[in-house]
Amino acid sequence: MTSVVNGRVLFNSIPKASIEPGKTLIVDKSETIDPEKAALNGGILLKIVILSVDPYMRTLMNAPDPKKGLLHTYTPGQPIAGLGIAEVVRTETDEVKVGDHVHGFMPFQNYLILPGLAAGVTPFKVLENKFNLPWTYFVGVLGLTGQTAYMAWKEFSKAKEGETVFVTSGAGAVGSIVIQIAKKQGLKVIASAGSEEKLKYMKSLGADVVFNYKTTQTAEVLGREGPIDIYWDNVGGETLDAALLAANFKARFIECGLMASFGGKPAPIQNFEHAIAKNITIYGFTLTPIYPKYEKEFYDTWPELVANGEIKHKEHLFHGLEGVEQGVVAFQDGSNVGKAVIVL
Amino acid sequence: MTSVVNGRVLFNSIPKASIEPGKTLIVDKSETIDPEKAALNGGILLKIVILSVDPYMRTLMNAPDPKKGLLHTYTPGQPIAGLGIAEVVRTETDEVKVGDHVHGFMPFQNYLILPGLAAGVTPFKVLENKFNLPWTYFVGVLGLTGQTAYMAWKEFSKAKEGETVFVTSGAGAVGSIVIQIAKKQGLKVIASAGSEEKLKYMKSLGADVVFNYKTTQTAEVLGREGPIDIYWDNVGGETLDAALLAANFKARFIECGLMASFGGKPAPIQNFEHAIAKNITIYGFTLTPIYPKYEKEFYDTWPELVANGEIKHKEHLFHGLEGVEQGVVAFQDGSNVGKAVIVL
């Protein structure tokens, strides 16, 4: 075998507001690699097969801003990075065998030489797949998005049977899982999304009340169907204000994301005073700090639930390194349903 | 003894924004009572000796608003109510003896006939006073404000030695206690208030950094002296925004009050997005739900700390039923230092 192209998705320029196709990200094919002969120096040659595209990546396209907790962002001229799955092509360490699939935070490119599993931002892990599920699942329902829903719900919701939860972006990769977890626990689920197709999907997952936030006032629906005990916030802004207004005493707000401020100025919160009188606790979170506490129980239980069809999920597949930009833009314009995954 | 006037502080009209002296509250002297002969029907005749004036009373002067968690408010034409201390004048129940001092939520008037200790919104309690402290302390440092500081700090702060806390209204009845608790636990304390006299007082309580929010930018001070691990919020609005900006990873925000919205429109929050990236938990609270958990340890330990001078506090005394309005207005114009107490 001779040299092949090692394509890379480079971060080209910091977007002002929206991502600009062809300008923010570019696919570079100037590098090559010889998979049979490339020097490994005791390490592992990986061929990347699956990449995950997630909303947090938009945040990493901003300039670093330590005051916002944003220490590391993408560097112009370098490959962007995110979660992915790679197959072991050659190895000079017995940490892995040829054909193993490893999961970790990796640069978005075709091939990668890793000094060892511990070399990542967080250590790479060899995936088990005893139910022989598609590898794409391991960046979605069995990866970041499934884990975000499962772990944050466990850590923060304090859910009790008979309570009411409001889930925003309920057709998204995280929201769709939250709906199902809440229904299994006997809660009433109110869920919002922005298209008729998404409303049907949320209904099929068991949501009791679904509505299109583009055509229906959130405050009106929550006023009629609330009060809400738990708010799963993927959007912030006016929707968060409506949730504060409709919250029950001792409500829990799980702050997963603020799509309302995606790439623009955040919408100011007007109803914060409700948090005091109603003894609301508001949990801002990212997955990393709570992950270790729930990792084992997640991998012990979820693959079987997914294999049995007890947890449903959708994938939105894109193909090739060119698909990365399409996946990111789909978040921006709201056209995605389910987990955005790139298959290389 | 013949009949005497039983003066009452009546709620006259719902204020539009600020409290209007002589209009919002009026002292009525049209009722009389004969302390020796008034029929008790098995109950207790109380002479009210101390009344507590607190910021939450301004909230109760609004129209009821169940969506804001505001179910019960003052009724125009009826006496306002709040915490107070009363002396037992006569009793037909052995729950109390003549001369006992009882504490509870009571109408603001001179005399009160109680069917029994359990008859209040929450039960009345006979106060112990083994250190022979002034009774006024039992509505301040040993009452609502001391308890608010002590109990909410214990419940929510998760404070660790070496951390930094930012306390707003640090010369107030609650903030001044928070400063002292935080210093005892080895934290760095940044405290703000609105006059030079208040800054001196906060320094005397041990605050490491004090500033006048009227003449100094909060964001500038927190940028230099932060990041902050705990924010004790008595004001909300722009100050809360500055705290979000200056918060450390995993900061805890204890939301005690929003004076920025006192009697007016709440200031919108612009920096909410920081809560997610920095994994901030925001606790809205009122005292009632956490009170039972800490009541015993509070009364077991605090009277002695106060008697020893280990916990310092200030009282702002007003006299007579006419003093109630003066006390409420002092919150509004920021002229109060320490706990506002009415001595009858």
Residues in chain B: 344
Token pair in block for residue B167: 């306390």
What average pLDDT score do residues A271-299 get? 94
For residues B290 and A341, give the distance between their C-alpha atoms in angstroms, rounded to a whole number: 46
Closest residue by Cα to residue B146 from B123, B176, B106, B101? B176
- pLDDT one-digit tens code per residue, B241-277: 999 999 999 999 999 977 654 555 567 999 998 999 8
3-state secondary structure of A174: coil
Evaluate if residue A204 carries a pLDDT over 50: yes
Query: CA of B280, closest CA in chain A: separation in Å?
Result: 5
Q: B273 and A266 in contact by Cβ < 8 A?
A: yes
End-to-end Cα separation, chain A, in angstroms:
20
Query: CA of A266, closest CA in chain B: separation in Å?
Result: 7
pLDDT at B1: 61
Is the bond into B292 cis (omega within 30 degrees of 0)?
no
Evaluate if residue A260 carries a pLDDT over 70: no
Q: What's the complex ipTM?
A: 0.87
Is the bond into A115 cis (omega within 30 degrees of 0)?
no
3-state secondary structure A191-234: EEECCHHHHHHHHHCCCCEEEECCCCCHHHHHHHHCCEEEEEEC
Please give the distance of CA A255 from its chain centroid, rounded to a whole number. 14
Least confident window among A55-69, A261-275, B189-203:
A261-275
Class of domain B4-139+314-343: alpha beta
Antiparallel, parallel or unpaired: β A44-52 and A339-343: antiparallel
Q: Which regions in chain B score pLDDT beneath 70?
A: 1, 67-69, 259-266
Tell me which chain B residue has its CA closest to the CA of residue A244: B68
What average pLDDT score do residues A285-296 get? 93
Q: What letter does residue A6 receive in the DSSP assignment?
A: -
A264–chain B Cβ distance below 8 A for any pair: no
Angle at CA of residue A154, ends A149 and A160, nearest 5°: 110
Q: A284 and B268 in contact by Cβ < 8 A?
A: no
**What type of residue is B212?**
N
Q: Which chain A residues are within 8 Å of B282, Cβ to Cβ?
A: 275, 281-284
Chosen for mutation from B65, B229, B279, B288 (greatest number of chain A CBs closer than 10 Å) is: B279
Tell me which chain B residue has its CA closest to the CA of residue A243: B67
| Residues whose CB falls within 8 Å of the CB of residue A94, separated by 6 or more in sequence, listed in order | none
Query: In terms of CATH, what superfamily is A4-140+313-343?
Result: Medium-chain alcohol dehydrogenases, catalytic domain (3.90.180.10)
Closest residue by Cα to residue A137 from A331, A312, A319? A312
Closest CB to B272: pick one of A70, A250, A266: A266
Evaluate if residue A261 carries a pLDDT over 50: no
Neighbours of A26 (CB within 10 A): 14
For residues A144 and A123, give the distance between their C-alpha atoms in angstroms, rounded to a whole number: 15
B235–chain A Cβ distance below 8 A for any pair: no
Contact criterion met (CB below 8 Å) for B287 and B144: yes
**What type of residue is A149?**
A
Closest CB to A272: pick one of B245, B266, B280: B266
Closest residue by Cα to residue B44 from B56, B35, B52, B32? B35
Chosen for mutation from A73, A240, A282 (greatest number of chain B CBs closer than 10 Å) is: A282
Query: CA of B335, closest CA in chain A: separation in Å?
Result: 23
Q: What band does A264 get if pLDDT is binned at 50, 70 and 90?
A: low
Q: B283 and A278 in contact by Cβ < 8 A?
A: no
Closest CB to B282: pick one of A250, A261, A275: A275
Chosen for mutation from A279, A286, A290, A291 (greatest number of chain B CBs closer than 10 Å) is: A279
Q: What letter does residue A286 receive in the DSSP assignment?
A: -
Contact criterion met (CB below 8 Å) for B10 and B26: yes
- pLDDT one-digit tens code per residue, B173-231: 999 999 999 999 999 999 999 999 999 999 999 999 999 999 999 999 999 999 999 99
B278–chain A Cβ distance below 8 A for any pair: yes
Q: Where are the domains of chain B?
A: 4-139+314-343, 144-287
For residues B335 and A81, give the distance between their C-alpha atoms in angstroms, rounded to a whole number: 55
Closest CB to A286: pick one of B67, B236, B277: B277
Query: In terms of CATH, what superfamily is B144-287?
Result: NAD(P)-binding Rossmann-like Domain (3.40.50.720)
C-alpha dihedral (A183, A185, A187, A193), degrees to nearest 10: -40
Element of type H or E holding A244? helix A237-246
Q: B266 and A276 in contact by Cβ < 8 A?
A: no
Token pair in block for residue A41: 């120096």
Query: CA of B151, closest CA in chain A: separation in Å?
Result: 14
pLDDT at A107: 96
B280–chain A Cβ distance below 8 A for any pair: yes
Closest residue by Cα to residue B44 from B1, B104, B4, B108? B104
Contact criterion met (CB below 8 Å) for B303 and B296: no
CA atoms B40, B43, B49, B53: torsion sign: negative
Contact criterion met (CB below 8 Å) for A228 and A247: yes
Token pair in block for residue B156: 């929510």
**What type of residue is A58?**
R
Contact criterion met (CB below 8 Å) for B43 and B93: yes
User: How much of chain A, in percent, has pLDDT values that exceed 90?
Assistant: 81
A241 Ramachandran zone, left/alpha/beta (phi>0; psi -120 to 50): alpha
Alpha-carbon distances of A97 from A42, A111, B126, B209, rounded to whole Å:
13, 17, 75, 58
Token pair in block for residue A315: 């994938």
- pLDDT one-digit tens code per residue, A306-343: 999 999 999 999 999 999 999 998 888 777 778 999 99
For residues A247 and A79, give the distance between their C-alpha atoms in angstroms, rounded to a whole number: 43
3-state secondary structure chain B: CCCEECCEEEECCCCCCCCCCCCCEEEECCCEECCCCCCCCCCEEEEEEEEECCCHHHHCCCCCEHHHCECCCCCCCCECEEEEEEEEEEECCCCCCCCCEEEEEEECECEEEECCHHHCCCCCEECCCCCCCCHHHHHCCCCHHHHHHHHHHHHHCCCCCCCEEEECCCCCCCHHHHHHHHHHCCCEEEEEECCHHHHHHHHHCCCCEEEECCCCCHHHHHHHHCCEEEEEECCCHHHHHHHHHHEEEEEEEEECCCHHHCCCCCCCECCCCHHHHCCCEEEECCHHHHHHHHHHHHHHHHHHHHHCCCCCCCEEEEECCHHHHHHHHHHHHCCCCCEEEEEC
Strand partners, A281: A252, B283
Q: What letter does residue A64 receive in the DSSP assignment?
A: P
A291–chain B Cβ distance below 8 A for any pair: no
